[in-house]
């Protein structure tokens, strides 16, 4: 069970999706106007992440390599639909607060990233714990941002108001406040030199920055296509060069043979 | 008149990036240079407009008659993924020059939540075919406007003396925040 606790720590602290990897920014900014919404979104994503990781890990030997991305998307989309219907039935207030961002969990890069980087290569139990760890890390990040915005904007934590109305800064619960809170949180992270995707210099030809040493493949599965195309091109060029060299050698050999024949 | 309201509100008032928070990843990721930002914006515009044209008849022509509305998310994401592949192949075959300039961005668009978000919003807002295509196109133009402005500002920031802790992502987020405040000013238009 040691590897399972390691996966949990990895998801919550070492590779925290919100603060370290900077993944899934859309829900991070959109639904964190209050701590409860952040927590709800985080837990919903966690459930989807655990279920999709478990299923993808179970089916990892069945899904052909070439169509794995569409396969993963179908699995994730099915679980998202189930969770959406369950939320509509049992937690309607959360459903109306999160709105369109529940179906959009499908395109959350954390989920596809974990499927590609971990669940498709490892057995079921570690994959479940990996999903749980990443999900809890995401929940932690969303709740932190939600708490900051709720205290500043509505003077409350989890809906319990403790600052009088006159001192609320409504700006922070509106859209611009989301960007500003995240800006200051990442700036604090940079100041304290905490590990983060933002305080490492990277080149920008790939969407993840091409930082393959530190990458778990999570930032964007699309990169794989670009890299593979480059590799295929390099291989083709090499093969072409080898072919030309062989042809040249053969021609030279024949010429030599012909010359020898002539001499005879 | 209704169409005019949709155009203004989807392009400016509820801008897809700055007030709906869709498509943040490309907004922050590919906005270092104006050229690439415009390329990404154009590719997104292209895909979103076609996606709206296709998801609408599929929802009202297949899912509603069969009472399968709950399959909306699965159906739409598959359509968008297939569409992106198809658009890429078609561009490669028929418009190689356009493919050369947009090609790199196309695979990234599948996971761009703006495409799925607009398709789902069109259905939940009950738009008709014309309205949803116009709404999709204008939302995407809103994305193009936002990412181009941000790229322009980022090119200027390169020469500014930004505090060390704010270098990189934080200053970009502060810029986005100020842009969002500016776009809040459009709220009175409709």
Could B120 and A78 be called an inter-chain contact, meaning their C-beta atoms sit closer than 8 Å? no
Q: Nearest CA to A177 among A187, A186, A167, A169? A: A169
In whole angstroms, give the CA distance from residue B96 to residue B142.
27
For the entire predicted model, the pTM comes to 0.78
Task: Please give the ipTM for the structure prediction.
Answer: 0.85
Q: Using an 8 Å CB-CB cutoff, list chain B residues near A190.
A: 164-168, 170
Q: Which of B78, B113, B124 sits opposite A74 (nearest CB)?
A: B78
Query: pLDDT (tens digit, 9 = 90+) per residue, A79-110?
Result: 999 999 999 999 998 898 888 889 888 888 88
Query: pLDDT (tens digit, 9 = 90+) per residue, A214-237?
Result: 343 444 455 556 667 777 888 888
Domains contained in chain A, number: 2
Same domain, A129 and A255: no
Domain that holds residue A125: 4-193
In whole angstroms, give the CA distance from residue A45 to residue A58.
20
- Token representation of residue A135: 């999900």
- Give the count of alpha carbons within 13 A of B151, CB side only: 21
Distances (CA, A) of A61 to A51, A65, A77, A121: 17, 9, 20, 9
Same domain, A82 and A179: yes
Which one of A150, A173, A193 terminates a domain?
A193
Same domain, A163 and A245: no
Could A176 and B178 be called an inter-chain contact, meaning their C-beta atoms sit closer than 8 Å? yes
Which one of A193, A210, A238 terminates a domain?
A193
Strands (E), A66-144: none
Q: Which of A109, A186, A188 sits opposite B173 (nearest CB)?
A: A186
Same domain, A105 and A202: no
Same domain, A132 and A211: no
Same domain, A53 and A138: yes
Q: Are B21 and A29 in contact (CB under 8 A)?
A: yes
Same domain, A185 and A209: no
Query: pLDDT (tens digit, 9 = 90+) per residue, A60-70?
Result: 888 888 888 88
Q: Average pLDDT, stretch A237-255?
A: 83
Same domain, A97 and A177: yes
Which one of A134, A162, A193 terminates a domain?
A193
Q: Give B78's contacts (C-beta < 8 A, 6+ positions apart).
A: A70, A73, A74, A77
CB pairs under 8 A between A and B: 128
In whole angstroms, give the CA distance from residue B36 to residue B29.
11
Q: Using an 8 Å CB-CB cutoff, list chain A residues near B125.
A: none
Distances (CA, A) of B127 to A70, A238, B62, B112: 29, 54, 17, 22
Of the pLDDT bands very low, low, confident and very high (cuts 50, 70, 90), residue B146 is: very high
């Amino acid at each position: 069970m040691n590897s399972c606790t390691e996966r949990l720590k990895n998801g919550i602290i070492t590779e925290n999706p919100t603060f370290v990897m900077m993944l899934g920014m859309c829900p991070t900014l959109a639904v964190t106007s209050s701590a409860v919404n952040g927590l709800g979104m985080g837990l919903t994503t966690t459930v989807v992440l655990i279920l999709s990781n478990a299923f993808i890990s179970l089916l990892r030997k069945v899904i052909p390599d070439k169509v794995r991305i569409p396969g993963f998307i179908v699995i994730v989309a099915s679980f998202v639909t189930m969770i959406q219907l369950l939320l509509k039935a049992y937690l309607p207030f959360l459903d109306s607060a999160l709105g369109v961002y529940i179906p959009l969990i499908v395109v959350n890069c954390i989920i596809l990233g974990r499927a590609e980087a971990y669940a498709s290569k490892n057995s079921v139990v570690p994959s479940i714990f990996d999903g749980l760890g990443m999900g809890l890390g995401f929940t932690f990040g969303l709740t932190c941002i939600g708490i900051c915005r709720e205290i500043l904007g509505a003077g409350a934590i989890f809906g319990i108001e403790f600052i009088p109305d006159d001192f609320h800064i409504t700006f922070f619960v509106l859209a611009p406040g989301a960007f500003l809170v995240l800006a200051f949180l990442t700036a604090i992270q940079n100041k304290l030199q905490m590990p983060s995707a933002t305080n490492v210099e990277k080149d920008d030809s790939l969407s993840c920055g091409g930082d393959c040493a530190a990458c778990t493949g999570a930032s964007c599965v699309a990169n794989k296509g670009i890299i593979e195309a480059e590799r295929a091109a390099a291989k083709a060029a090499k093969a072409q060069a080898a072919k030309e060299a062989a042809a040249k050698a053969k021609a030279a050999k024949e010429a030599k043979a012909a010359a020898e024949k002539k001499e005879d | 008149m209704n169409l005019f309201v949709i155009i203004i509100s989807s392009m400016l008032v509820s801008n897809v990036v700055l007030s709906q928070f869709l498509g943040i990843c490309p907004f922050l990721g590919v906005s270092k240079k104006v050229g690439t930002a415009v390329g990404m914006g154009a590719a997104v515009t292209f895909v979103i407009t076609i996606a709206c044209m296709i998801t609408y008849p599929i929802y009202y022509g297949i899912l509603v008659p069969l009472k399968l509305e709950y399959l909306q998310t699965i159906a739409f994401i598959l359509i968008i993924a297939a569409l992106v592949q198809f658009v890429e192949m078609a561009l490669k075959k028929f418009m190689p020059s356009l493919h050369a300039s947009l090609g790199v961005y196309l695979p990234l668009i599948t996971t761009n939540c703006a495409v799925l978000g607009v398709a789902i919003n069109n259905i939940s807002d009950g738009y008709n075919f014309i309205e949803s295509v116009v709404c999709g196109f204008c939302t995407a133009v809103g994305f193009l406007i936002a990412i181009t402005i941000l790229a322009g500002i980022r090119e200027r920031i390169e020469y500014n003396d930004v505090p060390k802790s704010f270098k990189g992502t934080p200053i970009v987020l502060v810029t986005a925040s100020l842009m969002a405040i500016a776009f809040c000013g459009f709220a009175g238009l409709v």
